[in-house]
Structure 1
């Protein structure tokens, strides 16, 4: 496969805009786990052909493989809004819903995909969905729409337009959040991040633990915190651990849980989420990939996407409700895509950079990860020295590679073989840090779009600004 990739790279040097060639190269990169190169190739196809469904679907597949299920779901739904007969998009949505445990929705998507193209039948998906029935169809007669790749909404009307009743019968929105709880996880279970933990204590935990002192100064407890940094560094984990530290309810949701095909319901979903947090305070409302929900309004062409952003801002302001005791945490890999209005006082006015762990942090993470593995001789410091720039997700990949390497022997002998430092260092040599590409992009923003000093922490981490 590596030889095939080299041949395709050589061919692209002579024909860099050849769409079929770019698609072949992108698919080959996906097979080899080269996500960044695959994404770049799909994007190059879309530069010349923005409507190319296969390339758009490719970006959705990349997002899913990177664990960005919300982004993958939105991309697939965008394709279906423009090309309702794209069977592969339905199949991808089925896989996404299975990943999230929503098997009834997955069944509906899978059945639609197979009805359009029976050759896409997948025995693995069918096994996962055995005995599962699709959900009941939603009520007819409503205007329906979906977000396009430009961030606008495309509206369509069903055949039966006489019934103008609420599509969900006036019932509370089912956002899949009924089972939220106070996490048992706390800072002791999070390896490294000591400097970040102290910042969170000062900016989040102490104000909530000593609310009476803040009330003496007429200062409300709560507000918004934005966590930004490379993917895989533990933004979600540290947010959940923060909730555990202060014994607050943790309500986590992604973009797909807010966006709704029914025009106007996305804003209602946003209100329902905030109301749920207000009714169960103290609570932490966690928005993953928040840049998708808080996109710069200048990038949106039509009003529907802008309306959702305005609704988000209104809820954060607590214009009609009391947000005291509700902390909103947003996590993003792309803070430069967030509307500046979200960083005004009272909104995401506290911003924390989440960097990859330093050597001591990596050693701590390695110790935590090793607790649930059969380990023989382990020197966390030695492995940490060999993994400069690795995120927590990268370190997990190192353990996964090491486990895969010993599994052949395990299966042959039927005995558990402990992992050693040598095994893990060997595995680390086969994995490249995924944070490097992020810092290449972040450096440009930090150097040339940093008038307010928003990205100074990135420059400090890169050694380009004195601490």
Structure 2
């Protein structure tokens, strides 16, 4: 942003006359941030904080200047301090801190220079809106079928981690991004969790509710904080669900707020201001044609995997796992798998749940416990239409008319092979 140099010069003259005026220093610091001089901006913001440690605008400017300098740890400390105050030093932010019997203590005067010092009487909480890390116990062995998808995931992420010597020999980085797309209910999220379980890594699931916020700039901050948490927990898997909503094509957006979120996501994937080594970004979408093309540029989500409805062995495996622990009698899972071609994994689980309800109703009616039978499963299957058919009808049109660079060739091949036109 262009800032009039004469205004900056006038403020510097005024500060030379009145160096202890924090309002002047904060005003100058904010202009210097906009003018692209974050180093000097941080100096003036820190001088203002020396005079008034709870100056909200000074804390915000110091945070922005630190981010511009690439010092995200310092920026996070200023953000936390800013969260600990409202309009005055006595204000209390319940979302960031918890008051104890000790009362509210003063902030250390050296706070802006050294590590974060938690004010006496407060207990730090996790930043609001950030996803909590998880350690999935499932692995790729728990995923039924999808052998081609597993092989692609192994080549992209798992093999380099298991073979450090080969990774060094071929110069393979421990970073990357992969986009999973396909009809809903076919296990994209489960696959992402299985990759994290295979790695023994932390798993961050980032959804729309974790990012989007009504306040201008807050969505970008949340997105940055989520990536920062993932980098600190590396190696880890950061999963971006519903990418078409989070990274929608900017050409389809009328408002700048959504465009700024996409721009922030691009910056985080590039790792321009921080190293993404050890952070494996997996994204999932049911509508890949709505994802901004810049997100799929090499170095970002540059690999794409089509997650299709489960094949015959996979459907049989899903039936067996869905029925495990339930009372059954005379059930033929192979027969069930054959009659549910085109069903998603979610459809199969729904069939089992519906059959369980039929068995429960019979038990209530007769006053005796009855197991789930083949007949009840067949009835439930006949009443459940494959949910993927509608998706393929829509996807076909996009695959034919928006197949830039052959990105949907695998989808078109599947549609032709299975005669889904």
- Counterpart of 1:375 in structure 2 is 328
What TM-score do you get using the length of structure 2 for normalisation? 0.68
Please tell me whether the aligned partners of residues 96 and 128 of structure 2 are also in contact (alpha carbons under 8 angstroms).
Answer: no
Q: 1:358 aligns with which of 311, 322, 329?
A: 311
The answer to whether 1:428 aligns with 2:381 is yes
Distance in 2 separating the partners of 1:414 and 1:322:
63
Q: How far does the alpha carbon of each residue in 1:161-203 deviate from its partner, in whole angstroms, 9 at most, with x for none?
A: x95999866986312523x222111122222222221221122
Query: For 1:302-322, what per-residue CA distance to the aligned partner results, in whole angstroms no more than 9, with x for missing partners?
Result: 221111110000001100101
1:10-38 Cα deviation digits (max 9, x unpaired): xxxxxxxxxxxxxxxxxxxxxxxxxxxxx
Structure 1-normalised TM-score? Answer: 0.62
Q: 1:188 to 1:372 in 2, by over 3 A?
A: farther
Of residues 127, 139, 146 in structure 2, which corresponds to 1:173? 127
Deviation, 1:347, is 0.6
The whole-number CA distance in structure 2 between the counterparts of 1:330 and 1:369 is: 26
Change (3 A) 1:192 1:373: farther
**Following the alignment from structure 2 to structure 1, what is the Cα–Cα distance between the partners of residues 230 and 249?**
25
2:404 aligns with: 451
2:213 matched to 1:260?
A: yes
Which sections of structure 1, spanning at least 5 residues, go unmatched? 1-141, 143-161
Whether 1:314 and 2:257 are equivalent positions in the alignment is no
Q: How many residues align?
A: 305
Deviations 1:288-343 (A, max 9, x none): 11111110000111221111110000001100101000000000000000000011
1:374 and 1:416 in contact (8 A); partners too: no
Which residue of structure 2 aligns with residue 305 of structure 1?
258
Contact 1:459/1:465 (CA < 8 Å) preserved in 2?
no
Alpha-carbon distance in structure 1 between the residues aligned to 2:339 and 2:418: 26
Q: Is the 8 A contact 2:207 2:242 kept in 1?
A: yes
Q: Does 1:285 align with 2:224?
A: no
Structure 2 residue 384 is matched with structure 1 residue 442:
no
Residues 456, 465 of structure 1: 8 Å contact kept: no
User: How much does 1:212 deviate?
Assistant: 4.1
Is 1:190 equivalent to 2:143 in the alignment? yes
1 CA distance for matches of 2:318 and 2:387?
17
Q: Report which stretch shifted further, 432-441 or 364-373.
A: 364-373
CA-CA distance at 1:463 after TM superposition: 2.2
Which residue pairs with 1:389 in the alignment? 342
Match of 1:250 among 203, 210, 216: 203
Find the aligned partners of 1:375 and 1:282 in 2 and give their Cα distance: 42
Partner of 1:231: 184
Alignment CA distance shift 1:415-1:326 (3 Å): farther
CA distance in 1, matches of 2:321, 2:378: 17
SS in 1 for 2:404: coil
Indicate if the aligned counterparts of 2:183 and 2:388 stay in contact, CA closer than 8 A: yes
**Deviations 1:244-303 (Å, cap 9, x if unpaired)?**
111111111211110112211110100110011111111000011111111000011122
- Matched residue, 1:72: none
The DSSP-based 3-state class of the residue aligned with 2:416 is: coil
CA offset digits 1:385-427 (Å, max 9, x no partner): 1111000000011111111212222223454321122221111
SS in 2 for 1:462: helix
Q: Is 2:206 aligned against 1:206?
A: no
Root-mean-square deviation (CA, aligned residues, Å) is 2.4
Could you say which residue in structure 2 is the equivalent of 1:11? none
CA contact (8 A) 1:290 1:332 kept: yes
Unaligned runs of 5+ in 2: 1-59, 61-85, 98-123
Q: Distance in 2 between matches of 1:325 and 1:211?
A: 13
Contact 2:160–2:172, Cα closer than 8 Å, also in 1: no
Report the alpha carbon displacement of residue 373 of structure 1 after superposing the two structures with TM: 1.7
